[in-house]
A and B are shown apart, each in its own frame.
Chain A
Amino acid sequence: MSTKSPGSGLIPFFAANLSVRNRSAVIWRGLFQLSTVIGMVTLALLLYTVINKSFGLVAINNKVNPETLAVNGVPLEQLDKDTLVNILQNNVSKGKFRQLEREMPMAERTRDEVYALVIDTVVQPKDIVGTWTLVESLTRRNAIIAQVHDEHPDATVSFRSWLNPNFINSPQSSDPLAAGVRTAVLGSLLTILTTILVAFPIGVGAAIYLEEYAEDNWLNRLLQTNITNLAGVPSIIYGMLGLAIFVRGMEPITSGALLGGADPTTANGRTILSAGLTLALLVLPILIINGQEAIRAVPSSLRQASYGLGATKWQTIWHHVLPSALSGILTGTILAVSRAIGETAPLVVVGAATFITFDPSGPFSKFTTLPIQIYQWTSRPQNEFRNIAAAAILVLLIMLLTLNAVAIFLRNRFQRN
């Protein structure tokens, strides 16, 4: 009797409940796991959607059916260069061929260039009558070809990778077969360069001030709170600020008129400079917060040792704090920059050009960027523009992936020290 512990009368009660409790624990554990899986599946679905649209069969109406150009049963795309030159010679007028020779002799052109020339001048793709996704193309290839032959007897069906060297290297065009992202990629790079040049010094300076100099008073607390809040302001608001200040207010500077460098095609403030400055304001809070974290991670013993040797505050920061925080700061900067590269909304508001076919030549050029190009192509109702939008998304994701790989590399080096 006396050995029985006071609570043991409750054991049957616990035991009766135990199976219920354990069961709900298992069920909920499963639910938590499921949620995580849903997150992963969505990421996979997103990539699947983009890749699925970037490759696939396409039916094109041509002026000349490429099948008729086959020589001895060898299809056009497998012919060697000499045969292709022959085809070219036989199918275009003599004057036209001489003109092509003058531009660049056939002997100097590569096989792929001649092939592209044959497609352009002889086959002359006119319009797309249908596009199919990668999965459809792989599973229903024959059905699709039969269907196209029924509905559009003149059209040829071929497998097309929308993401191809030509796509990366061509300027924008209203023809989805010829359109490319070169203008947009160059625009993105120039804009981001402007952003980094402006935001990096200010952001690092602010981070140094807040971590090393700022005393705990109301002004500095306000600065810190304000930066945290700015990081949460929607990007489109920055776009409106950029429109009001950089595009309108500082038009003489951002259009280049004041410096005499104005681009005659622009002649207003909707330039790469305005876009870069707007994005600089947008990434500044993130850059400052990341920079602060990197500086805070530097052990204070380093500073004390430097002071002990008689260094001034700035000498300590410049020679000891900044070098050891540098890779952290760079990682943070890259992450902030990769956010800026993907930004679309503020640049639409600042006034990205809807259609430009020439490369940007400097900070005072009209601009378009890769995300804006994606947005414009996505908004078109035609299916083939969705295909090139998907290919452009792949280009954008590859750019971001490269940047993040650099950031991870820097972070790993940082952690080893």
Chain B
Amino acid sequence: MNAHAPGSLDSCSEGWVRDEVARLLARVTRPGRYTGGEFNLRLKPAARPRIVLSYPDVYEIGISNPGLQILYAHLNDATPAAAERAYCPWPDMAALMRAHEVPLWTLETMAPVAGCDLWGFTLPHELTYTNVLEMLDLAGVPLHAAERGEEHPIVLGGGPAVADPWPLAPFFEAFFIGEVEHRLDAIVEALAAPSRASRLRALAAVPGMWLPGVSERPAQRQVFTAFSSTPPVLRPVVPVLEAVHDRAIVEVMRGCTAGCRFCQAGMWYRPVRERPVDLVVEAAEKLLGETGCDEVSLLSLSSCDYSGIEEALARIRVLRPGVRVSLPSLRIDSAAESLGRFAADQRGSITLAPEAGTQELRDAINKGVDEAQFEEAVRATFGGGFTGLKLYFMIGLPGETDGDVAGIARMAATAARLAKEVARGRARVSVAVSSYVPKAHTPFQLEPFAGAAVLRQRQQLLREAMPRNVRVSFHDVAASLVEATLARGGPGSDRLVEEAWRRGARFDGWSEHFRFPLWEEAAVATGITLGTADLLGDETLPWESAVTAGVTRSFLSEERARGMRGERTDDCRGGRCTSCGVCGGGVEMDVLP
């Protein structure tokens, strides 16, 4: 009970935060970003090693990342280590921290990040790279690994963007390549070594680890082969501050072998592994209680491809009254037949991704969807009760013509017509158009970036051709230009990141913070041309010197050739192996019978 004496300053002010931090919190927007206090937060103040996990974006984005939740739960609950968290301070807080010389702290203990043994970053995409430098600087940790000493943490990178770690290589002691769940114990053990040098040697011996300037061969991407038999995170940290995602997450499947030739995730997370329906439903039930959410998200790269989707949907819906189920990633060809059932009792909007506007181009990128399937999926969407449909397309794909771009407007018009017919005008259609950025370890890894002029011309074409009753939004071409430069950056591309950061680039993924002139200045200063890649033709590609992804160069080359010929490649789940190179040596597809 409340036992404070009237007129005293004690009681519910617990003195839990240092004075210098409290002074800053009083002067920033949304101070709750920096104070933790979430449901299911773990506190192990005396435990060692102390590991800090970071997502280089603002709290509301970072707390919604399921990957960090996996690491946090495993490290705290299944190892002797203490895992704490820090996210990138918003510019108002960063300015105050610098002005008052208060170093970055963690949400769990409010203690400085710099005192930890290991600082792990999940690297989601290229436009967060300057935030990594911002966080290192705010923590008082030297930017370059070469400048760090015994008193500094080892900085370790992981996540999808390490498919090409070169643009961040000098800032990290090590990168973990691939899925880390089964290697966390080994990483914790490595940190028990007595000196920084011996800890680094021990880390280098962990499979999947690549140490810039130290490792003599590329790291083999790690695959968590026990995914199917391992429950998902059952006690996630639940934010009290409003985050971008507010739902319980059950990862039902990892990997996708649909073979879309532009898709890095589809190549990176192979092979497909599915969790049994019983495990999924049990996890959903437990998570509804632990999170207090009334929505369960069945997460995967393509949730309608999950073999147990219909049974899981049916069983989760009856767990408790009013529970909603969301499928965050839907492929149209697989979605059409499921949407009818899925859509029952649903409201709100749904996103479908045809990706390209014509059949020819969809065949070239191996996006298995035809016009009939598209219409069927749209009808099922509106027929099932959804009142919003967002269509996602890319422009700048290899081989794309103005005719392909005009096709996007035609598909949008078809969707708008069906909204009128099926939903009787109660539904709305919107179109989001991003710029295609060629990525490492994909069949299109050697394709040139379309370039700013072409992309802007096609955006204009689309604006003019789009039906009036369809809202269209575009991704910033300048941001894509930066992304394209870093996505295939080689040794030395780190200079561009550092120069841009030193000039003030931060939160480049946020339109209100992205300042392209800073990147242009950095490009001039470093002699790097924006929008190009460090490609060496048939020789070893820069990222291949650091990472062996599993999919072979010959498979990627063959897929590229098939794409140029407009030939489709079937999903290997159908039984026909495409010889991508991933399976073997204990790594196999693991799907439900």
Pair from one complex: no
